[in-house]
Structure formats: structure tokens, C-alpha cells
Chains A and B, each alone.
Chain A
């Protein structure tokens, strides 16, 4: 089942992008990558991924806007959004959840924890 799930990874830091791509691929997801919000939105509309790992501070269209767009579009609103951000104050996390994030993971993160959390989300999707 897991193989069919599409995961989009969005970040403007090459180091983070390559590690997330590696991790998700290893878990058997079909992985797409985007370096900014605009590129992400193109891919989202085209591929309709199941899960998005989304950085917040990005050029042009930021993570908040991507999330808002996804959650307010009927055919996209089911997509699970995981914010990954170095903005890790309590208020930042609250804002993320308020906008509609399914998960907020502060940077730097433990790769093992992140993977298990994403997998749990994927399981939820699979069983629903």
C-alpha cells in the first residue's frame, strides 16, 4: 500500500532537501521535491501527493501560504501537511496548527522520529 503514497518534500536548503528525499525514498514512498512554494504548488496540483513535508521560510510563496491554499481547496484539503521549521517557538507551532497543519516538527529534528511520525500519518491514510 505504502508504495503508492506520494510524498512531496519542500525546502530551500539543499542539505535538508537531500536528506529528506533519501529518508522518504528509503521508506518506499514516491518522492517529489520542490525548492520553493511556487514549485511546490505546481507539483501539488499535478500529482496530488498524500503527504507534504513543508518548510515555512521560503522565497516567493512561503509554507503558510502553501498550507492555506491546500487546506482551502476542496480536492486538496485531504492532503496531510507536516511543517518542518526552524521557527520553533510555542507561538510558531500554534500558528502552524491553526493554519491547518497535521503535524509540526521543529528543526533540527531526529530522522528516526520524523520517519516514524510520517509513517504513522501514512498508516492513518491507508486505513481510512
Chain B
């Protein structure tokens, strides 16, 4: 394949990554952040699958059979435990604004600079080779595709290609990894790009898998049957207990369980980039599913490769590329290349960011802070300094990885370097797991544990490979150091029969955990260590109170604190942050001296940018701190513990009190409402009485004062007076009526009645007004309705009221009123439907209230007293019935009341 095409494809792919990251950051600026999506989080965790997974799994499966799966079974087993472990780590990291593993360990053990440096160095030494093999994977896949993998065809440009790729990745990492310095250290664009890469690498692997399984062979069955005929391949299916394979399984699984937590890149995506603890819920099943999917075709490809290249002239790590090439499937080969490229680049990018944060915050900054002269130069731009340190370290890390890839990596397969890296980061496990569950774990224990574990790791796992490379004499391996057999690196203290990795992990962990526990127990913690230990272990109860468990005491001037913060956050943000904090804790920012709470808070803010240890140094440098004795710390912590307990008790009591109060309030509210209703009712009644009274008085005064007025007009006035007097007396009757119903004094005089007769009587009573307005009245009786017990006059009153309302709201000459009765299941339904103006939805319930307009003065008063429907409702309810309305504005209303037939 043409190397130009490959270079172009690689560049295009990098451009695509830039695009995705850029797009994601733009979206996030618009408030449509992608990382709020739990699927993105779960996919970003798949950064676990590197080029090692992509190319190396096949190679591993060829050499060791299904044992390669241990690396995926570990994380799968770990995922359910994430809810316990990672959630706690995430919570701690959020509360303390922790941005790397080094920061985490250093912060836990008293914000200790030494520990931060150790962790950073171990990470660098452990993970650099891992980055290097990713670069190596890219370049070797390139060579295979361009068929320049034989030394004769070697081309100087290709060596440089790895270099260019490293630098290109460096650029990407700088752009999306160090653009902003923030106290959360999240990189949304990068995470989105990583998630996209996770999809691409899985897709590429599956496509090649399908090609091999179904294109070249006849499905899984075919490949496995053919492989089973091969005695050597057949053994790869089986777990063979003889070679200590079970112990390998155990150690490899345990190792990958710790790797999924403590690899710097995993910590970065799982903890630092996490925006929501709930995303864990999705990741807990989605990530194992991803591992399953990307592993389905490993064995078919491995066996396929063995069957297709029986002469072993192809490195099994390269089967994924070699098989498509053998069949001249160029596009597929290119797709594989891109898949591997994405697996490698995502790992390199995130690992580099994670390492650069450690290098700047836990290694360089604490050292620089010891030299005020250097810091002084950056007086107003400390965040710029941090950023520059990070940028430089990104390039240096990549450069070192490049050199390693060229010089040493060729001696090892992908997987072995990966496992050695896993073993390195596993050294963090005791300090972290112990740190979040065991309060006694202290700084000395952590330092000695880490150092001894790392030393053993180096001696048992790194030294043999250096011997293999000829750097150290072979005799050490065979005879032991200084000829002492017990010190043989691969059979330490005579332990034989384990594979190298298991052996190394066993001994390093043995010394690491042993020293951590024993030194923690024999040495004493300092006050700051104790404070951190308690708040880390009890984070879920402390996270709300962490502002209160302040053990800092001393004198710091607000102005100094402010200046320090401005160096990192700028003036505007600093002032805003300070003001908000002061508001929350009712502090006075006018005071010259800073409140201890504010000092602690500022330190935490700074920790997010420069790490806990550096932040500690900076705050100490601008304040005069008092020593706090151990007893005092214990007292403060106990007080806060008691505060929490008291708070719980208090909360319970206050909830009870609140409940009682709200019940009282409610009762009072009801009383008030009833009172107000009564008030409203009275004032509405008064208003309703005054209205006709006004007409009566005015009109009769006019008639009295104007004996010479027009005869016709006089008659009109006088008839209006009569009408208004009627209205007045009707109103008074209704008020009294309603009062009877409400007080329960109204009794029904029941007799055996026929609903049809009642309806007919009511229609007859309104015959005249309906006719005058030109309104058609239709009655559709249900002849099967039985007679029943009811108060005849009262029911007539209801129906007359409903029909006269209908007449009122119908348009003259166009109105039509339909009255119907239905007998259904022991109840008689009577409905009065008109084609009038209708009633708006919001009033449909209110119209049955007396003077419903009293609630809202601007609603049109219904003509009439406003009591008719209220009384009708009371009458129906006295009959154990119900009344309701269905209506739409402009399409008429239908009032229905139901009376049970007992």
C-alpha cells in the first residue's frame, strides 16, 4: 500500500479528532455539553483498550490461549465494585479538587510533597514504556501495510514518522488538554474525541473479525473445528493447571482489577473527567459489554491467523493486518490501521495529559515554589507558568516515549510491556485503597510501602528485560545478585513455578502492603495527616461539612489570599468566588485578616490547579500558621463528628417540628380561607344587592323628579324598577336558601317521582321566555327510566335553573336547547345541552361556586344572582347525585346531573 495514502489517512484521522474535540467544546460553550451523557462517559472508559488490545490480544491468544481474557475479566469483575470504590474516590476528588493519582495520594497523606513526587516518578517510569509501545504499534502497523518491515526496505522517513506522529499527538494534547487552567481539570473536547475513538476501534475490530470469520472461513464453528485438528492450537482452548496457570489467572486478573482503577489515564477519565456520579450506573454494565464485544473475534482471528500462516513467518501481533493483506482487501487493511491508530492515539493522548498534570502539579511546582525568585518572575501569571510546565512536559513525555520505542521496545511484545505497566501502577493500590478505608494508614507507611513495592517491581520485572537488552550481565538472572541464589530476579527467595508477572506482582505487593500496614501501625500520624485520613475515609458524611472541619489556624491577610488567587483565576473570578463564599458563610470581606474557613477554601481552590501539596506550600508562604496539637485536631474532628450526629438528631426533630407546623399552618389556612370565603360571600351579596338597588333608586328618583317625562320612557323606567325589585327579592330568597343548604337545615320532601314529568313541567314553566327569544327546546326522554324517590319541587328548581341559564346564553332566534334523560345502571342522567357561548375551561369548575366571580374581579359576572348553580349543586348532592358541565367556548355547554335510583 502506498505510504502517502497511509500518511494522508493518519492526518485525516487526526483532523477528524480535532474536529470532534472542537465541536464538543463549542457545544459545551453553548450549554449543550456532550459529557453530561452517561454513554460518553462509559465509552471514554474504553480507553482501557489500547493498541495492546487491538493488536496484542491476538498475539497473546496465539501464545497463551484464553489466558489473554484475564486482562478483561479483571475490569469486568471490578465494575460492580466501582459503586463502592470509584464513587468514593470521585467524591473525595471532587471535594478536594484532586486532579491526579499523585495528587490523591499526596493529599490523603497530609498533602505531602514527597509522596506526590514518588507517585509521579513511579507513574512516569511505569507508564512511559506503555506509551512507547503504542507509538511502536503505530509505526509497525505502518511498516506492515507499506511492506517495509524487512530491514532492507527500511526508510529513514518511516522512523521519523513515529516522531511526527508523537509530535502531532503532542499538539493535540496541548490544544485540548492545557488550553484552560481550571480547578476541575476537565477536558470535554478530549473526552468526546476519546469516546469517538472507542467506537472506531471497536468497529474496525469487528469488521475485520467478521471478514475473517465469515469471509475467509465459514463462521465460528468452521474455524474452531479446523483449529481443534491442530494439536498445538487445541491446547489453547483448555485451561491447563500444570504450568501454574491458575495462579497466573489469579494474578493477572487481580492486576487488571487494579489497573482499571489506577492507570493514570483511567483515573483521568473515570475520576477527573467524571461530571456526575450517576454515570457510573451506566458504565457498570456498558463498559463490560464493550470489553465483551471487542473480544468476540480475538480467538477466531488468532486461530485463523495460525491456520493461514502455518510457517509462522508473521508475528501474531500483526495478524489483524496481515490477514486482510493476504487477501488483498486493502480497504479492510486501512480500516484496521485506523482502528489500531485510534486505539493507540486515545491512550497516548489521555495518558500524556494525566502524566503532565502529575509532573506539573506534584513534581515541578512544589520544587519551583521552593525558589521564590523563579516564582517572582511569574508574579501575575502563575497559571501561565503551570500551563507552560505542562506543555513542556507533554512534549518531553512523548519524546521520551519515542526514544524508548526506538531503543528498547523492540525487545518486547505489546502485552508484556503492558503487564509490567499494570504491575507498576498496582503499587498505588495499598496507599489508595487503604487510604480510603483505613484511617490508621499514614504517610510513612505509604512512602515506605510504595518505595519497597516499586523497588521489587523494578528488580523482578524491569531488570530481567534490561538484562535481556544486554545492559546488565546475564549472570544476575541465573546466579542472583552478588551470586546469591535467593536474589534471582525471576525466582526471588527461591519462589519458582510462577510466570514472571505473577511472581513480580506477588513479591512487590507482599513488600508494599506489608510495609504500608506495619509502618502505619508503628509510626504516628501528624495532625494534618489525621485530618485528611478522617475526612477521606468518612467522605460521604463529611462532604457536606468539609468547610467546617477546618483545622487551619493562623494569621493570613485577605489581601494576600486575594492576590494569590488572582494569579491563577484572574481578578474578576477571584472576587466573585470570594464574595460568594463570604455570602454563604456570612463573612465580612472588609476585614483585613482572612477567616480560617476562607483560607482553607482558597487552598482547596488552588489545589485544583496546582495540586494539594503545592497549594499547601503557597498558602503557608503567605500566612503565619500556628501549630495545632494532635489533641486539638482530635477534638475538632470529634466535634464535627458530634456535630454530624447532633445534626441528624436535630434534622429529625426539625422535620417533626416542621410537619407539626405545616399541619397547623394548613388548619389555619383552611380557617382563614373559610373566613375569607365568608367575607367574600358577604361583600359579594352586598354588592349584588346594591346593584339592583341602585337601579331602583335612580330610576324611581328620576320618575319622581320628572313628572313631565315622556310617557313611554316613564313606563320603561317603571317596568325596569319592577324587574330589578324581582331580582332583588329572588336574590334574597336564594341567599337564604343557600344558607339553609349549607347549614344542613334544608330537608328534602321525598315522594315517588317520574323524571320525564319533572322535565316536562320545567320546560312548560319556561315556555314563554324561550319562545320570546326564539329558542327551540327539544326533549329526548328515556322511556325506561324508572320512578324514584326524590324531592319533586327541588328537582324542578334545578332543571328550571339549568334551562333558564341555557336560554340566557343562547343567541336569540338561533338557540337550540336539547334536554335528554338516560337510565344507566341504577342512575338517571339528565342533560341540558345548548348551542350558546360556552364556558372556558378554567371557569368550568368555578361556576358551581357561589358568586364564583368573587375570586377574580375582572371575570364577567354571570347574569342573574350567581347562586343558581351553587344551589342546584347542593340539591343534586342532597340526592346523593353529581352535577358537572362539559363545554367549549363557542360551541355551547352541556350540563348533566346524575341521580342514583335507590
Contact = CB atoms under 8 A, between A and B. Distances in A.
A24 B701 CA distance: 14
A13 B701 contact: no
B34 to A, nearest CB: 50
Contact of B858 (A16, A19, A62, A86): A62
A15 B720 contact: yes
Contacts of B861: 12, 57, 59
Nearest to A87: B687
A77 interface: no
Task: Give the interface centre of B694, B705, B723 by most chain A CB atoms within 10 Å.
Answer: B694
A107 B701 contact: no
Interface string B685-698: 01100111111111
Interface in B710-737: 713, 716-717, 720-721, 723-724
Nearest to B699: A19
Interface string B7-26: 00000000000000000000
Interface in B642-692: 683, 686-687, 690-692
Nearest to A56: B857
B743 interface: no
A69 interface: no
Contacts of B698: 15-16, 19-20, 23, 108-109, 111
B702 interface: yes
B284 to A, nearest CB: 61
A60 interface: yes
Contact of B724 (A15, A62, A87): A15
A88 B695 CA distance: 16
A110 interface: yes
Given A22-B702, A26-B706, A57-B861, A108 B720 contact: no
Interface in B724-769: 724
B312 interface: no
B705 A13 contact: no
B687 A16 contact: no
Nearest to A36: B860
Given A86-B691, A108-B690, A15 B699 contact: yes
Contacts of A16: 691, 694-695, 698
A49 to B, nearest CB: 20
A57 B705 contact: no
A111 B857 contact: no
A124 interface: no
Task: Give the interface centre of A19, A58, A111 by most chain B CB atoms within 10 Å.
Answer: A19
A61 B857 CA distance: 10
A18 interface: yes
A84 to B, nearest CB: 8
B697 A108 contact: yes
Contacts of A111: 697-698, 701-702, 705
Contacts of A23: 698, 702
A112 interface: yes
Given A26-B706, A86-B686, A107-B694, A112 B720 contact: no
Contacts of A57: 687, 857, 861
Interface in A2-24: 12-16, 18-20, 22-23
A94 B713 CA distance: 37
Nearest to A86: B690
Contacts of B694: 13, 15-16, 86, 107-109
A14 B686 contact: no
Main secondary structure of the interface of B (DSSP, over half): helix
Interface in A53-111: 57-62, 86-89, 107-111
B706 A13 contact: no
A59 B686 CA distance: 19
Given A19-B695, A57-B857, A111-B705, A14 B687 contact: no
Interface string B843-884: 000000000000001111100000000000000000000000
Nearest to B709: A22
Interface residues of A, number: 27
Task: Give the interface centre of A57, A89, A108 by most chain B CB atoms within 10 Å.
Answer: A108
Contacts of A61: 858
Contacts of B723: 15
Given A60-B860, A108-B697, A19 B702 contact: yes
A24 B687 CA distance: 24
Contacts of A108: 690, 693-694, 696-698
B720 A18 contact: yes
Contacts of B699: 15, 18-19
B691 A110 contact: no
Contacts of A19: 695, 698-699, 702, 717
A89 B860 CA distance: 21
Contacts of B690: 86, 88, 107-108
Contacts of A12: 861
A73 B755 CA distance: 59
Contacts of B724: 15
Contacts of A14: 695, 720
Contacts of A15: 692, 694-696, 698-699, 720-721, 723-724
A13 B694 CA distance: 10
A57 B860 CA distance: 8
Nearest to B695: A15
A74 B825 CA distance: 67
A19 B724 CA distance: 13
Contacts of B721: 15
Contacts of B687: 57, 86-87
A111 B723 CA distance: 20
A112 B705 contact: yes
B717 A13 contact: no
Nearest to A57: B857
Interface in B546-594: none
Nearest to B860: A59
Contacts of B686: 86
Contacts of B713: 22
Given A86-B691, A107-B691, A108-B693, A62 B857 contact: yes
A105 to B, nearest CB: 10
A57 to B, nearest CB: 6
Nearest to B857: A57
Given A19-B699, A109-B698, A13 B691 contact: yes
Nearest to B861: A57
Contacts of A18: 699, 716-717, 720
A15 B692 CA distance: 8
A60 B721 CA distance: 27
A87 B697 CA distance: 17
B676 to A, nearest CB: 15
A18 B691 CA distance: 14
Contacts of A20: 698
A59 B840 CA distance: 14
Contacts of A110: 697, 701
Interface in B386-436: none
Nearest to A37: B858
A38 B428 CA distance: 80
B700 to A, nearest CB: 9
A81 B699 CA distance: 22
A57 B721 CA distance: 21
A107 B691 CA distance: 7
Interface of B: 683, 686-687, 690-699, 701-702, 705-706, 713, 716-717, 720-721, 723-724, 857-861
The 4 closest A-B pairs by CB, nearest first: A15-B695, A59-B860, A19-B698, A86-B690
Given A13-B695, A18-B716, A110-B701, 17 more contacts: A14-B720, A15-B692, A15-B698, A16-B695, A19-B695, A23-B698, A23-B702, A60-B858, A86-B690, A86-B691, A108-B693, A108-B694, A108-B698, A109-B694, A111-B697, A112-B701, A112-B705
13 contacts: A12-B861, A18-B720, A19-B695, A19-B702, A19-B717, A20-B698, A22-B717, A59-B858, A86-B686, A86-B691, A86-B694, A88-B690, A107-B694
Interface of A: 12-16, 18-20, 22-23, 26, 57-62, 86-89, 107-112
